[in-house]
Amino acid sequence: MSHTYTGKVMWSHLDANMHMRHSAYADFAAQARIEVLAVMGLDMKTFQKLHIGPILFREETTYLREVGVNETITVTTELAKSKKDGSRWTICHELFKEDGVKAAVIVVEGAWIDVLKRKLANLPEELADHFVHMRRSPDFVELE
């Protein structure tokens, strides 16, 4: 299963300084996350059917290098922390420039929400099992 997303930086991703704007980093990480989840059977149709979706509690980006227009970037996705049942988790994304230089690290902490009840929820066991077997970071931590 691929845990990388590749995309091209477009004009609309730029800020007034002519480099990629801060929110575009989050957008690329979100797209990478959604694609990895879809490969595991957690696509938008499944979320709609179950009335469950991912929710973020925290998002932190560390910027390391500027990224400019027309650059092709690659975003990796790894599970950094998770409860055994996958109900709470931390995912780490690393964004690389086309020359292989790491440009940013985006870390998100989240859980699953029942979109009808507006309360935290658990994934069905089979899907949770797929989720907790996402590629793990070398320093993966199992949460209590």
* Domain-embedded: residue 60: yes
b/e string for 117-144 if b means 16 or more Cβ within 10 A?
eeeebbbeeebbebbbebebbeeeeeee
pLDDT tens digits along 44-83: 999 999 999 999 999 999 999 999 999 999 999 999 999 9
Is this structure's pTM higher than 0.85? yes
Q: Provide φ and ψ at 104, rounded to 5°.
A: -165, 160
* Domain-embedded: residue 142: no
What number is the average pLDDT over the span 126-143?
A: 94
Task: Give the range of the structural domain holding residue 63, as residue numbers without chain letter.
Answer: 4-136
Q: Check which CATH number belongs to the domain holding 80 and give it.
A: 3.10.129.10
* Domain-embedded: residue 143: no
* Domain-embedded: residue 141: no
Count up the domains in the chain and report the number.
1
* Domain-embedded: residue 44: yes
Confidence of residue 117 (pLDDT cuts 50, 70, 90): very high
Q: How far apart are CA 74 and CA 81, in angstroms?
A: 22
Q: How far apart are CA 52 and CA 69, in angstroms?
A: 36
* Domain-embedded: residue 144: no
DSSP letter assigned to residue 34? H
